[in-house]
Homo-oligomer: A and B are copies of this chain.
Amino acid sequence: MEAPEDLFRNVIEEFIPFNKHLGFKLKDVKEDFASLLIPFREEMIGDPRRRSIHGGVIATAMDTVGGAAGITTFTSFDDTLSTIDLRIDYLRYGQHKDIICEGHIIKSGKRVIFTRMIAYHVDDPDTLIAEGRGVYSVIRADLNEDD
């Protein structure tokens, strides 16, 4: 199943109200991978002294790109997924600049999808701000339970 980039752009930027509200932009999508841009906004600040981004913004972006990466492994347009659990390690304070969040598939199984996410400033891809794991339940329309 090939999902066009426009479909992913629409899901991340328009279809999901909270993502749209935060201004997330699809950056890239391909098999087993999706990334998005978090354009920094004052209202995303979580620590006013450091002016660093709220961990919740990063959690939201991670859940979003993990799910989007999972969608790239769908085998039918009727497949659906939902988040089972999400785990984030906060490695460094984010500065007041744009952040990129990537989602990578670790394993996409018949019933469960495992993903790894990373977040970094747009101008420093080698220094991770946060790293995450998302586990998703997937219902594959084309597969029987006994497969």
Interface residues of A (CB under 8 A from B): 15-21, 42-48, 53-57, 59-61, 63-64, 82-93, 106-107, 111-112, 114, 116, 128, 131, 133, 135, 137, 139, 144-145
6 contacts between A and B (CB under 8 A): A16-B48, A18-B54, A56-B56, A84-B90, A86-B87, A87-B87
From A54, A82, A93, name the one whose CB has the most chain B CB atoms within 10 angstroms.
Answer: A54
Select one of B20, B86, B91 contacting A107, CB under 8 A.
B91
Q: Which residues of B contact A17 (CB under 8 A)?
A: 42-46, 48, 54
Give the complex CA separation of A57 and B85 in angstroms: 14
**Contact B59–A86 (Cβ < 8 Å):** yes
